[in-house]
Amino acid sequence: MDRRSFLRTSTVGGAAAAASTTLAAPLYAQGNRTLTMVTSVPDGFAIFDDAAQLAADRITALTDGQLTIQKMPAGSLVGAFEVFDAVSSGQADIYHSADYYFLNQHPAFAFFTSVPFGMTGQEFANWYYHRGGHEHHNNLASLFNLRSFACGCTAMQPGGWFNTEINSAEDLQGLRFRMPGQGGQVLGRLGASVQNIPGGEIYQALSSGQIDGAEWIGPYADERMGFQEVTNLYYTSGFHEPGSVLTLSFNNDVFESLTPQQQLLVDTVTRAVYADNLSLTLAENGAALARLQEAGVQTREFPDDVWNAFGAAAAEVREENMGDPIYAEIAESYFGSLAESASWFDLADGNYMDQRNRVNAG
């Protein structure tokens, strides 16, 4: 059976389906359990770790301690980029990370964090919860003995921090820049030397001159990282991650051992964390950017020819992956949902926001 056929016949039912099952209670239904959650960032990292901590706290509290989530930050049990293998193999029970760190496992994991010129955080939620995205996520995850849930969203991520201005696409040649995921592949296609550095190591790499620039999450999280201490050039709009999603993934055997009620609770908590995390970053970014500007940070926008270069390279990278049937199936679903969402947004919210900005400015 090929992977495409396997995906169509594999079990993808969510927690709601689990809650209605008539099967016998799982082995671990009674008693308290401690589950180990490994993460890809250090403790206290704004937005990213906020989502992991909130999920751990809510699951622990709402199960009245029947499930205690022990969060272990990057480096305490495994490295930042080793969490996927640790949970897939059973070394740990859960990971909280960004799935585009694991494109070496399958390129389609990009869709469950962000792809260039893809979905905003709200558009992703539309697809994930109402147009089959979560089912696609679990079909893919099941190939690696995982059960996955969107669990946080960092919203639009800026173009990043640079030690020199980008005035044309030629300025990207040889630029040593930290950017993971498909965005990094696109940037590499344009001549940059792309570095996939864990979040906890970015500041040191930037301040030491190991890299010429880096993107992270947004003004609130970036301010906490201290990048403004190294450079004052901040490109506030990026092509690479218009709505970056974070993931909570269980070892599938562990998830199946939970009671139906506990499975449903995990689904409910992760949905709440997604909404809370998205609103947290959007609430904090404006004030954080104002503080950065007061401290001397200069905001910049990429010129049109750079945007055009990003777009052309992104299309090439996407097309090169379409030969994989799993990738192609998920891409069709993802971009189909995006087209639906965008068509209404342009007519409604988009037009309203343009008019609101015009009226309020006048």
Neighbours of 89 (CB within 10 A): 11
Closest CA to 216 of 72, 13, 41, 26: 41
Q: Domain residue spans in the chain?
A: 17-106+116-156+242-282
Q: Rounded distance, CA 159 to CA 60, Å?
A: 36
SS3 161: strand
Distance of CA 189 to the CA centre of its chain: 22
> What residues in the chain have per-residue pLDDT under 70?
1-30
Identify the residue whose tokens are 């990003």. Answer: 310
DSSP for residue 296:
T
Fold classified for 17-106+116-156+242-282: D-Maltodextrin-Binding Protein; domain 2 (3.40.190)
Distance of CA 329 to the CA centre of its chain: 20
pLDDT of residue 65: 87
Closest CA to 112 of 92, 127, 130, 131: 127
pLDDT of residue 4: 38
DSSP for residue 168:
S
pLDDT of residue 276: 98
Write out pLDDT tens, residues 296-333: 999 999 999 999 999 999 999 999 999 999 999 999 99
Q: Rounded distance, CA 27 to CA 40, Å?
A: 30
